[in-house]
């Protein structure tokens, strides 16, 4: 699985996502699945072939450990992944 990592930052210091970025929700109460950016504009992100929608500030780029696990990791799991 190849992923694009968002490199640009906008004026308000939020990531500008581009098509192909693999993202997860920031909030732990949201689904923990990986999603692929279909299109992003004006802080709105269309995901998974335009079937889902989220505001950009609710998303973040998935980490390498999350790509390997095929899901968003909990904070504890993420901390362990950084150590190993």
| Residue 83 token pair | 């150590």
pTM of the model: 0.77
- Residue 39: which of 17, 9, 61, 13 has the closest Cα? 17
Q: Is residue 12 part of a domain?
A: no
Q: According to the model, what pLDDT value does residue 11 have? A: 45
Q: Is residue 65 part of a domain?
A: yes
Q: According to the model, what pLDDT value does residue 78 have? A: 86
Say which DSSP state 21 is in: B
Q: Is residue 67 part of a domain?
A: yes
Q: Is residue 3 part of a domain?
A: no
Q: Is residue 1 part of a domain?
A: no
Low-confidence spans in the chain with pLDDT less than 70: 1-15, 84
Domain count, the chain: 1
Domain of 44, in residue numbers: 22-83
């Amino acid at each position: 699985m190849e992923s694009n990592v968002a490199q640009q930052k906008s004026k308000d210091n939020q990531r500008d996502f581009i098509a192909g970025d693999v993202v997860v929700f920031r909030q732990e109460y949201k689904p923990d699945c990986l999603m692929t950016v279909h299109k992003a504009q004006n802080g709105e992100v269309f995901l998974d072939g335009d079937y889902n929608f989220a505001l950009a500030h609710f998303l973040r780029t998935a980490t390498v450990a999350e790509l390997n696990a095929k899901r968003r990791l909990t904070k504890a799991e993420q901390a362990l992944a950084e150590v190993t």
